[in-house]
Structure 1
């Protein structure tokens, strides 16, 4: 994948799923900012996809 395509896909995921996420808002109220972040990283399928895309982006940067 190209760098531009990966960044665009990350932006689309964040815009479509994360901005108005009720689970994230609830977790932020209950557990605070870091608790909500931990939930997104460990339990959310969108978070898993974002991590995958981040790893792909790192691969592109290391090739350069």
Structure 2
């Protein structure tokens, strides 16, 4: 995959799933921004997909 294609896919996923994510909003409100980001990276299936796409950028 080309970097431009990966960036487009990342943007699409973030806009579709992450922008209005209820889990992220609840975690931010209850536990803070750092906890919400950690949850997204380690436990969310969308976060796993983002990590896999990010590997193509390096």
Q: TM-score, normalised by structure 1?
A: 0.88
Over alpha carbons, which structure has the higher Rg?
1
User: What residue number does 1:62 align with?
Assistant: none
Structure 2: runs of 5 or more not aligned: none
Matches within 5 A, 1:40-55: 40-55=40-55
In the comparison of the two structures, how many residue pairs are matched?
Answer: 58
Runs of 4+ in 1 over 6 A off after TM superposition: none
Q: Secondary structure at the match of 1:4?
A: helix
User: What residue number does 2:28 align with?
Assistant: 28
Between Structure 1 and Structure 2, the one with more helix by share is: 1
User: What residue number does 1:8 align with?
Assistant: 8
Q: Secondary structure at the match of 2:20?
A: coil
Alpha-carbon distance, 1:52 to partner = 0.7
